[in-house]
Amino acid sequence: MSAKEPGRRHPDDRLLFGACGVVASEKARQPEEGGLPGALLDTPFEQRYSAGHPFIIGRGAGPFVNVANRRGECANAAARTAGRTVRSSSSLLALPRSLVRAVMRLYDHPHPSKRGAVIRGYDRPHAVRTATMCAAVAERLGHPADRLYHYQIACLLHDVSRAGLDRRLFGKIWSWAKAHGIPTRPREWRAKYPTTPYGRETEAFVSRYGRELEKAGVPLTAWTKEQIEIRLGHARRLRRRLTVVKPALRRLGIQWMSWMGEVMLYYYYPEKLSRAKPWVKQLAEILVACEQLEAYSNRQRGRDYYGRTQESLPKAFAYLDRLKNEGLLSEEVLTALRELVAEGKFDAILEQARGRRLTHGERRYLRRLANGSITWE
């Protein structure tokens, strides 16, 4: 990506960063090289913030911070209204926008049939919004700032195994599977077909349902199998994708930690964290909770990925309660998430995901969430 001209907004900014801004910007625009200002390329990421470099949340030339006030108003908008600048009071979400753009490019995938063409990473704003919420919940639960740096990188990349997602083909395969009651996640597949060798769910799907899928008008090509693997072979696909991601992160001055991959696997493979340190398990739970809340509120993902026609906040929190009952989420994580939602911290993010403002009834529902599960009025 070429450096943008001073004073001009990058074409991805509106889509990726949102109207209120959900990721970091630099105090002054600087030329990019490899996604970061050249003088900082050789500086470890943690040191960039601790050394006083002005990497904070927001967009534009000014150092705005993306924290919603108790009215649920984005702090950027509140600051502009008040005619003043809001500065970050902590290291939370201290990621430069140029870095986030560089990380998001790791979602891009070569087109299988068009030489030189690239399939742009699917729904990258979802990853940014999820990472923003995750860091806020982790901070609320007391995780240290140096851990949050790497955690947010992991959250930004939590969907990187989906690089190459073909929206039309993927949607056709999995809407067909859902209509026929076919499991769409590895742990659900293993529950229904326990004799399937571990990690071979994709092959089992092709063997069991391949002919039926072809009869439904989906040719069983190598590219079709990749779209099946995106859902049923998450761990294997993630492992392959990380061979590209890790060197790229090193070039950006970010060290990969083994626990980062563990938290990315938890939703599909909770058994892989059975011996993980408690704080790693908690970060994994936070990612699941925030990612699912965003996904249930995400209009585009709902249409493309789940075949959904309407977003429902009560259904989102009912699903989180279900995950708690299944043992995937702890009460501590859900309580922290509910508190932040009730305080209005995520209103702007949920509105960005939905593509519209929250209604009065939805805001009233969210403000009451700290009291536990409630019904929609």
pLDDT tens per residue across span 270-285: 999 999 999 999 999 9
Q: Which residue from 235, 225, 223, 256 is spatially nearest to 187, judged by alpha carbons?
A: 235
Task: Supply the pTM of this predicted model.
Answer: 0.75
Q: 26 and 37 in contact (C-beta within 8 Å)?
A: yes
**Separation CA 14–CA 286 (nearest Å):** 26
pLDDT at 307: 61
DSSP string, 4-40: PPTT---TTHHHHHTTTT-SEEESS---EETTEEGGG
Low-confidence spans in the chain with pLDDT less than 50: 1-92, 373, 376-377
- What does the buried/exposed string (b/e) look like for 221-255 if buried means 16 or more CB atoms within 10 Å of the residue's CB? eeebbbbbbbbbbbbbbbeebbeebeebbeebbbe
Average pLDDT, the chain: 77
The answer to whether 57 and 23 have CB atoms below 8 angstroms apart is: yes
Structure tokens at 149: 């740096």
Buried-state track 145-163, b at ≥16 Cβ within 10 A, e below 16: eeebbbbbbbbbbbbbbbb
Give the angle 9-164-215 at the CA atoms, nearest 5°.
135
CA nearest neighbour of 121 among 139, 133, 103, 137 = 103
Angle of helix 258-265 relative to helix 145-156, nearest 10 degrees? 50
Give the model confidence (pLDDT) of 135-185 as tens digits: 999 999 999 988 999 999 999 999 999 898 888 899 899 989 989 999 998
Question: For the chain, give me the number of helices (H) and strands (E)?
Answer: 18, 6
Which helix (H) or strand (E) segment holds residue 56: the answer is strand 55-57
Q: What local confidence, expressed as pLDDT, does residue 94 receive?
A: 61
Give the burial class of 81: count Cβ atoms within 10 A of its Cβ; 0-12 exposed, 13-18 middle, 19 or more buried. Answer: exposed
315-341 pLDDT, tens digit each: 999 999 999 999 999 999 999 999 999
